[in-house]
Amino acid sequence: RPMRLIASALLAGVALLGAACGDDDATGDDTTTSAAPAAPAACAEVYPAGGGEPEGPDAVEGRGEPEMEACEPAGELEVIDQVEGTGAEVPEGGTVTVHYKGVAAATGEMFDASWSRGDTITFGLNEVIPGWTQGLVGMKEGGRRVLVIPPELGYGNAGPAPGDSLVFTVDLVSVS
């Protein structure tokens, strides 16, 4: 008799389990729903401003390549200082040496990084896209800044992420 009760309980459990899991009927009607993927968070939330101690130019090499991900840009140039520098400040039209990494905002997919090449890059602010020209002014050596650049200040409908905003993390090594 105890065996029969156990067998009955097992069969009832299997029946309930099958009902809970559901099965497709002959009409092909599937009543299960799947959650839509979550929209990316605002870039200012994904890349928050720093609150730590300011750092000098020597700290840049020790930081290494940043982790980056997709985010929802605000629609205008966003300048987010994650680490405040202590060195010289970038003037309008200045020349800078930086490490950087760039990703498409919508996907977080990297399209370029100086870290991948293992070397910094030096350029004048008049030689780059307007988002860099505007976004780097005032940054101090040793700082890490995130630039979220709308298409009209980046590459527009061309370049590595046509029509998408670009997100760059920039470590400022020096100003000349």
58 is catalytic: no
Round to whole Å and give the CA distance between 162 and 125: 22
Please tell me the predicted confidence (pLDDT) of residue 4. 38
Which tens digits make up the pLDDT trace of 9-46?
Answer: 333 333 333 444 444 444 555 555 556 566 789 999 99
Other Cβ atoms closer than 10 A to 126:
10
155 is catalytic: yes
100, 149, 164, 171: the active-site residue: 100
The partner residues of 99 in beta bridges, in order of sequence, read: 171
123 is catalytic: no
Q: Is the pLDDT of residue 76 over 80?
A: yes
6, 24, 111, 123: the active-site residue: 111
111 is catalytic: yes
| 71: exposed, middle or buried (Cβ count in 10 Å: 0-12, 13-18, 19+) | buried
Which tens digits make up the pLDDT trace of 79-129?
Answer: 999 999 999 999 999 999 999 999 999 999 999 999 989 999 999 999 999
Please tell me the predicted confidence (pLDDT) of residue 25. 46
Please tell me the predicted confidence (pLDDT) of residue 34. 58
80, 149, 164, 168: the active-site residue: 168
pLDDT higher for 60 or 1? 60
